[in-house]
Structures are given as C-alpha cells and as structure tokens.
Amino acid sequence: MHKKNVIRELLIDSTHGIQKAKTYFEERLDDKLLLDVLVEFALDDYSTDASMTASYWISQFSEDLLRGIEDDLLVLQQYELNSISVHALVALGKIQSTRGLKYLIESKITPKLQWEAVALKYHLKHLLDI
C-alpha cells in the first residue's frame, strides 16, 4: 500500500530533481497501485508540482497499464495547464488512443495549424473514421 503523503512528497522532490525521488518512481513503473495513486494526484491535487509530476510519471508507465486508465488520461489531456495535459497526450499516444488522437488534432493542432490539421486528418482518415 502506498501512503499518499509519502508519494506526494516524493512527487514534489522529483519535480525539483532529487535523484532519490526520481529513482523511487523509475523502479516502480510496473506498479498498478502506484499508478492509481498517481492518477489521483494528477486529477485532484492542489499542488501544481505534485499534479504535474504525477502526470509526467504516469506517461512513463507501460502501454498495458496505461490502457487501463485511458478514460482518466482523456480527462487529463483537457486540463488547462499544459504541464499536466502534455503528459496525458503523450500517454494517450503511447497507447494509440483514437479518442486521444481526435482531441489532439481538434483541440491542440487545429487552432494553431488549421491547414496542417486538415492534411493530418486525411493522412489518418483510416484511424479517425472521418
């Protein structure tokens, strides 16, 4: 069982480059229970450091574990803070989430690169069902 207060402190330490904290997470990227705790922090923590770093570490987990939290990742990708949402976008890319891809194109690429997004949709038509 992971103590949330300990994990939170490790997340903040990891944000600030403390190797012991980074090693803690690196050695546990196959731990589903830790992943679940990290999702809680990414979705709900009041500290930007903890939620941002939780989102980063989530993106480092394997595709198999990430598939099990796709719905949470779809929520995280919509967060206003890029420091949280970008890592969810990466994780959704790792699992080749079609819903994540659609959001990426429509909400992130199209507003800045409209014609490039149109071209990308044609390239990915077989994946997007459009």
pLDDT tens per residue, range 59-117: 999 999 999 999 999 999 999 899 999 999 999 999 999 999 999 999 999 999 999 99
The predicted pLDDT at position 130 comes to 57
- Cα 97 to Cα 6, 66, 110, 114: the distances in Å are 32, 10, 18, 22
pLDDT averaged over every residue in the chain = 93
pLDDT tens column, 18-70: 999 999 999 999 999 999 999 999 998 666 889 999 999 999 999 999 999 99
Give the C-alpha separation, 101 to 50, whole Å.
26
Q: Which of 91, 45, 48 is nearest to 71 (CA)?
A: 91
Q: How confident is the model at residue 8 (pLDDT cuts 50, 70, 90)?
A: very high
Question: How many other β-carbons are positioned within 10 Å of the β-carbon of residue 64?
Answer: 10
Q: How confident is the model at residue 128 (pLDDT cuts 50, 70, 90)?
A: confident
Length of the chain, please?
A: 130
121 burial level (CB within 10 Å; 0-12, 13-18, 19+): middle
HEC per residue, 99-117: HHHHHHHHHHHCCCCHHHH
Count each helix (H run) and each strand (E run) in the chain, helices first. Answer: 10, 0
Look at the pTM and tell me if it is higher than 0.95: no
The predicted pLDDT at position 2 comes to 74
